[in-house]
Amino acid sequence: QVQLVESGGGLVQPGGSLRLSCAASGSNFRINAMGWERQAPGKQRELVAGVSSDGRTVYADSVKGRFTISRDNAKNTMSLQMTSLKPEDTAVYYCYATPLGLGPRSWGQGTQVTVSS
């Protein structure tokens, strides 16, 4: 019932910044938690950041202090502000939304972030 569309990925030099966005749409949906995961070639998929319906946030240790997650419940959008980017941040980033009731997460299509000089 929930469709997620991501945007904002691209190529950036080390130390640069990018802002990822995720927009939710559909009918008769209610979202609990939202967040971002990423997967790099040869590495396991990992949680990057998450935000609950009441604004509580959690971050991976590797991005803490550099990334900021936020959500706008009125607009059904979520963003990930990434600063001081490192080559190891290179990955495909996927946004997710967890329904309020029982059911699986919804996932975005993924957006490529490449950090390279």
3-state helix, strand, coil in the chain (%, to 5): 5, 55, 45
Share the mean pLDDT of the chain. 94
Sign, CA dihedral 101-105-108-112, equals positive
pLDDT of residue 69: 98
- DSSP of 79-104: EEEE-S--GGG-EEEEEEEEESSSSP
Residue with the bigger pLDDT between 73 and 67: it is: 67
Q: Across residues 66-78, what is the average pLDDT?
A: 92
